[in-house]
Structure 1
Amino acid sequence: MPQTLTFEPSWDKALPEQDRLKIKQTFAQIDHDTSEPSITFTPLWQAKNYKGELLVTVIINNYSEKELTFDQTSIHYIERGQILATHFFTLKTVIIPPKTSMPWAFIFPVKNISQQATFDNGFLRLV
């Protein structure tokens, strides 16, 4: 079964067309030929909000045969090989079916971010 791209309903309604196009283009460039079932994050963009929180927007790729949910799931934010933030995420409305990719923004609270973070070219990894 080929990997499909889907949007969480509230994202689907609110997503600007320019962002939707970038997400679709990025998804099309991902090599979905994975030899073992896994979960990966494809970076889209990252920013700091007015509170100083780190927002990391990615495409979550569920290559497994199982539904993916986030319930106290630990995720690292990594830059230049260093873990600069870790947070436990519980996303009640996010359920990603098998062989499906979905964009999502993870928000790391200020207290969980290292001061050395440049918020440039970072990526996410499941712990």
Structure 2
Amino acid sequence: MQKLVFESAWDRTLAQKDRHEIERVFSEFVVERKVGQQAVNLKTAFNHKREFLVTVLLNNYSKVPMSLLGKKIVYKEGDQILGEFKSVYKLEVPAETSMPWTFIFPVGSLIDTPNGDSGELIIS
């Protein structure tokens, strides 16, 4: 059975409004008998350093943990790749678990400027 878990820093600092929104998205996307992994976009933004932030709900439907370390992270809008980088995140999403996470695309990792929340994050 898929469960929603918040990384400890998220659990301590997440605003109640944001927590409710993540729980709502989780309840809509989590279905029995799914396989593999899925990243569901929650929101995008630029921070004060002009880094591109992509907040997603990571769904690990598999029976084994999913590590982000060393994975290629790609942000696409339509068929166009707008940015990519190699993950240095040590986050591990346990088996059959969903967890929110924000990916930070460093300055210089974007090929083009994103248009908004219509993109998708691909982890490979």
TM-score, L = length of structure 2: 0.92
Q: Distance in 2 between matches of 1:74 and 1:84?
A: 13
Q: Distance in 2 between matches of 1:89 and 1:34?
A: 28
The SS at the match of 2:25 is helix
Give the alignment partner of residue 120 of structure 1, picking from 100, 105, 117: 117
Q: Which one has the bigger strand percentage?
A: 1
Residue 68 of structure 2 corresponds to residue 74 of structure 1 = no
Query: What is the identity, as a one-letter code, of the residue corresponding to 2:18?
Result: D
Residue 102 of structure 2 corresponds to residue 105 of structure 1 = yes
Residue 1 of structure 2 corresponds to residue 19 of structure 1 = no
1:57 corresponds to: 55
The SS at the match of 2:71 is strand
Tell me how large the CA RMSD over aligned residues is.
1.4
> Unpaired runs of 5+ in structure 1?
none
Q: Distance in 2 between matches of 1:117 and 1:103?
A: 21
1:30 corresponds to: 29
Describe the shift of the 1:63–1:31 C-alpha distance in structure 2 as closer, same or farther (beyond 3 A).
same
Correspondence 1:78-89 to 2 at 5 A: 78-89=76-87
8 Å CA contact 1:54, 1:119 repeated in 2: no
8 Å CA contact 1:61, 1:100 repeated in 2: yes
Q: Distance in 1 between matches of 2:100 and 2:64?
A: 18
Percent identity for Structure 1 against Structure 2: 36
The SS at the match of 2:41 is strand
> Unpaired runs of 5+ in structure 2?
none
> Cα distance, 1:46 vs. partner?
0.6
- Residue deviations 1:36-90 (CA, integer Å, cap 9, x gap): x311101111101112111000000001111111111101101122111111112
TM-score, L = length of structure 1: 0.90
